[in-house]
Amino acid sequence: MPNPKRRHSKSRTRQRRAHDALRAPQTVLCENCQEPRQSHRVCAKCGYYDGRQVLKVEQEA
């Protein structure tokens, strides 16, 4: 296998790794219960998606 002839500089390595950071997931408010949820996902609190209930969620006592 080929090996690099010269060592890569710290700045070149860091420039490559600049895009590796994790981003926080984008959230929107649920139209039904106003809880934050990920877009295009069913709300975990009320089970609604796109204005209709698609999951039956048990209420906590």
Express each pLDDT in 1-52 by its tens digit: 899 899 999 999 999 999 999 999 999 999 999 999 999 999 999 999 999 9
What is the extent of the structural domain holding 45?
A: 27-56
What local confidence, expressed as pLDDT, does residue 23 receive?
A: 92
Contact yes or no for 53/45 (Cβ under 8 A): no
Sequence-ordered strand ranges (E) for 1-61: 27-29, 36-38, 48-49, 52-53
Q: Is residue 21 part of a domain?
A: no
Domain count, the chain: 1
Distance in Å from the first CA to the final CA of the chain = 62
Q: Is the pLDDT of residue 61 over 80?
A: no
Q: Is residue 35 part of a domain?
A: yes
Q: How much is the pTM? A: 0.60
Q: CA–CA separation, 49 vs 35, rounded Å?
A: 13
Angle in degrees, CA 43, 47, 53, rounded to 5: 125
